[in-house]
Structure 1
C-alpha cells in the first residue's frame, strides 16, 4: 500500500503554554535530537512554481544515520505520498540524486522533540534561523483526502487553546525565505 503523510504545521508563539497543555493532554515529548536535512528538487523546478505532483527528495542525518525520503505533494504541500529508506553512504546518495536530475536546494538544521497524541505524531521543532514549530501528522492510505485529514488535525490543535500561527509552507520554503530576507 502506498502511504500518504498528512500534516499541519504551526509557528509556536509561546512555548511554555504549549508545553504545559501538551503535558496535560498526556503527550510526553522526547529529548531534543539534532536533524540535518539536505533538501533536493528536480533540476527543472524552482521556488514559486507549484509543488503539487512534483517529487522532492530529502537526505537526513540523525546521530550518524542517514535517511533518504521522497515526498510528492498531493492535495497541497503537506499531504504527500512518501517513500523512505535508510542509506549507508550519504555522499553516494547525494551523487545519485544529482545523476538522476535533482539539485540541492537548502539545508535545514533543527532540534526535534517527538511525541504522540493517539494515532497522531507530534514534532516540536526548533529550526535554525526560522523559529519554533509544532507539526501534527498522520499516515493514511494514498487515496484519502489530505484536506479532510488536515481539517481534523487542525481542529485538534485549535482545541488546545494555545496561541499558534498556522503555516502552510514546508521547512525548505521557510528556510529559503529567511535566507533571502537576511541577504
Structure 2
C-alpha cells in the first residue's frame, strides 16, 4: 500500500472546522497520539529520505502500532507497513536493536473524518499548532504528485487560509526547536 499525503498549516482552526462541516466531512472525537519516530543509522536531518525506511511507534487509546514508511517520489508519498504490537517497550528495544535511532517524540491530538477515498485529519501538534492532513491510500500505480495536486485543489476550495507544507511533522518539530 502507498499513502499519499498533502499537508497544510492552518491559520484559523475554527474556520477550518466550519468549512469541513460545510463540505460534508464529519470529524470524530479527538484522540491523543504519542509517536516515537526512528531514523536509520547514518541518516541526519537535511539528508534525503527517498528510498530510506523510517519507523514510528504510536500509542493511541492504550493501543500500540508499529509503522515502517519508505518515501517514494517525495516525503509525503510512501509505502507503508503497519501492525499492532502488544508491548511498546519491547518493540522500542527491538527497533533500536535493528539499528534504528530514536530521533524524536511527537504528540498530537487528531480528529479524523473521510470524504470519498480521502482520510481527512485535523491535527493539533504540541509546539506547532493546527494542521490539515489529507491522506489517500492506494494499491495501484496512481501518480503520487497528481493525487497530491487533486487533494490540493480540494483543500484550496474550502476557502480557508492554508499554508501548504511538504515537511513531515518530525522535520517541523525539529525546526521549531531550533528557532
TM-score interval, smaller chain: over 0.9
Across the aligned residues of Structure 1 and Structure 2, the Cα RMSD in angstroms comes to 0.9
- What is aligned with 1:20? 18
5 Å matches for 1:63-102?
63-102=61-100
User: 8 Å contact 1:81–1:142 — kept in the other structure?
Assistant: no
- 1:111 paired to 2:109: yes
With the length of structure 2 as denominator, give the TM-score of the two structures: 0.97
1:79 Cα shift? 0.3
Q: Identify the match of residue 121 of structure 2 among 111, 120, 123.
A: 123
Is the partner of 1:27 in helix, strand or coil?
A: coil
Is the partner of 2:174 in helix, strand or coil?
A: helix
User: 8 Å contact 1:11–1:131 — kept in the other structure?
Assistant: yes
1:144 Cα shift? 2.6
Give the number of aligned pairs.
179
Gaps of 5+ in 2: none
Q: Identify the match of residue 49 of structure 1 among 36, 42, 47.
A: 47
Is the partner of 2:178 in helix, strand or coil?
A: helix
- What is aligned with 1:11? 9
1:142 Cα shift? 5.5
1:84 Cα shift? 0.2
Is the partner of 1:114 in helix, strand or coil?
A: strand
- 1:132-159 deviation per Cα after TM superposition (whole angstroms, max 9, x unaligned): 0000111012633211111111111111
Runs of 4+ in 1 over 2 A off after TM superposition: 141-144
Is the partner of 1:166 in helix, strand or coil?
A: strand
Distance 1:77 1:92 in 2: 28
1:17 Cα shift? 1.5
- 1:17-70 deviation per Cα after TM superposition (whole angstroms, max 9, x unaligned): 111111111111111100000000001111010011110000000011100000
- 1:140 paired to 2:152: no
